[in-house]
Structures are given as C-alpha cells and as structure tokens.
Homo-oligomer: A and B are copies of this chain.
Amino acid sequence: MKSILTPLGPKADKDTVRRHNLSLVLRAVRDEGESGEATRAGVSARVGLTRAAVSSLVEQLMESGFLTESGKTFSGQAGRPGTALKVARTGPAGLGVEINIDYVSVCVVDLAGTGRVRQTEHLDNRGAPAGEVLARAARIAARTLDSAREQELRPVGATLALPGLVSGGSVRQAPNLGWNEVPAEDLFAEALTALRPGNPVLPVASENEANLAALAELWFGGLGDVRSFLYLTGEIGVGGALVLGGELLRGAHGFAGEIGHVVVDPDGPECRCGSRGCLEQYAGQTALLRAAGIDGSGGGAGVVELERRARAGDGRAVAALTEAGRMLGRVVSGAVNLVDPDAVVLGGIYRSLMPWLSPPADEELTGRVVSGLWSPGSGRLRASSVAGDAARGAAALVVQDVLADPVAYAEP
C-alpha cells in the first residue's frame, strides 16, 4: 500500500519558507484583485499569515517591483481604510509563441495575466523546413519583445505552443507540419538570441498547443465552476487536452490529450500519424472542407466560406457539418465515459461552427454517455470562450513560474 503515504520532503529552511510566503502573498493579491481590491488585511485573512508578516512580505514585493500601491480603499475592514494593493503592470512578464499550421501568434502577458502585446502572422508553415519556421517565429517574437520593452515589461521566459507531440524540448512528431524529431526549443532560442545581441538569453520551454489552449480556457475563459473538462480544438487537425480538477493532464510521457487520433473507423482513410480512420480524418478542417466541397488551400477563408454556406442552408455544407458533429460526439462520448468530465469545450474552428456541430454531437452524447447524465440542454458541450488562445496560455505558463517563486525573477 505504498501510495497511501503522503510525500514527505525534508523540513523547509527559513529562506524557503519566506520565498514560499512571498509567492502566497503575490498570488493572493492577484486573486483578490480579480474580485475587488486587495488590502494587507484581506491578504492576511486569505493566506493565514499575521498582518505583520504580510506587511513585511508586501514591502519586499513592492521593492522588487512585483506589487504597487494605489490609494485608499474601504473594502478591506469595516470602517478602517486600507491601502489597495495591485500586481504591477510592469516588470516580469511571459512570452508565448504559438506556431500553428497556418499562422504564428506571439503574445506577452503581464503578472496579472493580462495580454499586453500581440502579433499574429498568417502564413502556411507546411512547406517550409522546421528551422526556417522557427526562425520566422523568432523574428516575430523579437519584434514583440521590442513592443513589450516600450511598455516596461520584461519577459523572463518563453513558451512555444506547438501542434504536435512535444517532449524534452523537441517536437517528436507534428504530422500536419511534417515535423519529426525537431529540437524546437534550441532552434528557436538560437535564432532569437542571434536577433537580440547584448540581451540576456531568454529561457525557452515548449508544450503542445492544445494543452496551452486548454489552460488559457481554464485561466481566462468563462468556465465558471468547471474544473474538469475535455478540450478539443479544430485546426487543420484536431487537437485535444484534458484538464482534471484544475490541472492539465500531461500523461506519463507528456502525450495525453490526443483525441484527434482516436479511431472512428479502423478501415477509414489513412491518417498522417500512420494509423487509419482517426477522428481528424472526419472532423479536422481539411476533411470538413473537403466533404463540404470547399477548396481548403485558402486556410481560414475556407472555414468562413463553410460557415457562410451553412448559414445559407447549403445542403452539402450542412451535411458535412452534421456528419463531423456526429463523429465528434461519438468519439467524445467514449472520452466522457472514460474520464467523466464536467464539460467538453470546443475551440478553434469549431467555435463558429457550433450551431451545426452541436446538435448531432449532443445527440450522440445523449445516447452513448452511460451515466445518463448527458442531455442536449445540459450545457456540458460548449464553445471555447477564448477561441483557443494557445499563445496566451503559453505566456501565462511563464507567469505561473514567476508567481510560484518571485524571488527567482526579481530584477537582476
């Protein structure tokens, strides 16, 4: 019965405790600020540290530029004004770089989680060698970093959001980009460093884009109390992620969430992953446009056209969407039976296509979810509220590191 034992670390020393408490206070101010105004008294009540301890920690966080004060507030204690605390709008920030099949989107997020700079370029990344695509992304990132500096933001790390299997800093496989074993972190970091001589080298991490889009949905979306959800994003392929109890499920090898490669028909069309009849072959953008008789080479324009035709009642467009919705519902019903999430969130191109995808998907789910807890009116199938913003999720992941240990990211 090994698993019952709580993990036991060595006893924490004083320095570790203070760093931990600095993080607690910083995060408490960020969270209090969401619902109203943060005061030292409010933070003290929230984190369970004495008022004096909180004041000392706040002072250090202000000196290091993580917190600012802004006038008096009466919201803290009955009748006694406190000073409102805010997470700084300048200083440490995160850089997120989403490299997808037909666009690159870069953004900078500040400590409060607010997106502050965004640059997106639409282009087809499928033809070009991986090194070239990553160098192009680095150029966009360098320009974004210039903009961030003008706003006195100091990105302390970057996360790459990549449409494939990502682990150990490399893209193991990104079939829709045609990438295999691409050391993406190194290639991007080298290109970015070369573009910014004299600047400190930015640490670069990487993660699957659907995972990051799901985190963006969790952190910035309108999910309310939902803490467990399956996230599907319609792109050229179909990406997926699982958030369980507010935590991203990465899986034993970092490859969880690949719902796009769940088999629909074992003898179906060949998939780029090497298997046959994967969901992607029925509900990915390419398959959807093909079934609707729309030229898919124009990227996002094809989806706009699909939506236009469906809205106009075009039979072939509606049939293609209905069939894709049915396939989505069928595969998602299996996933719901397996992990029993609160909700299923559809992002990417699915967002605008919900009116046609949702009824057949809900019908499959209602018939196939064994708990009997799925019904068309349940609202458990919903559109992503942030359109699948992997770049923001990627940037916020860096910010999460800062919030977890601000001392490590104080101005050098």
Contact = CB atoms under 8 A, between A and B. Distances in A.
Contacts of A8: 24, 28, 46-48
Contact of A263 (B46, B258, B368): B368
A197 to B, nearest CB: 34
Interface string A353-384: 00000000000000110111100000000000
A210 to B, nearest CB: 12
A92 to B, nearest CB: 14
Interface string A1-35: 11111101111000000000000100110110010
A293 to B, nearest CB: 25
A220 B2 CA distance: 9
B4 A400 contact: yes
Interface stretch (A63-71, A125-133, A152-160, A332-340): A332-340
B251 A10 contact: no
A242 interface: yes
Interface in A371-412: 371-373, 396, 399-400, 403-404
A228 B251 contact: yes
Given A173-B370, A249-B339, A341-B252, A403 B4 contact: yes
> Can you tell how many copies of this chain the complex includes?
2
A139 interface: no
A240 interface: yes
Interface in A209-253: 218-220, 227-228, 240, 242, 244, 246-247, 249-253
B240 A338 contact: yes
Interface residues of A, number: 75
Contacts of A318: none
A244 B245 CA distance: 12
Interface string A261-302: 111001000000111101000000000000000000000000
A182 interface: no
Nearest to A113: B1
A244 B246 contact: no
Given A172-B371, A249-B244, A330-B263, A338 B257 contact: yes
Contacts of A259: 334, 337-338
Interface string A316-353: 00000000000000110111011111100000000000
Contacts of A28: 5, 8
A137 to B, nearest CB: 24
Contact of A218 (B3, B5, B165, B252): B3
Contacts of A339: 242, 249, 251, 256, 338-339
A318 to B, nearest CB: 20
Interface string A72-115: 00000000000000000000000000000000000000000100
Given A228-B252, A263-B330, 13 more contacts: A1-B31, A1-B219, A2-B31, A3-B218, A5-B28, A6-B24, A11-B48, A251-B340, A251-B341, A263-B333, A276-B367, A278-B370, A335-B338
> Which 9 residue pairs of A and B lie closest in terms of their CB atoms, listed nearest first?
A251-B340, A262-B334, A256-B340, A261-B370, A258-B337, A255-B371, A3-B246, A1-B113, A1-B219
17 contacts: A1-B30, A1-B219, A1-B400, A2-B219, A3-B219, A3-B227, A5-B28, A5-B30, A8-B28, A172-B372, A242-B338, A249-B340, A255-B340, A255-B370, A262-B338, A274-B367, A334-B335
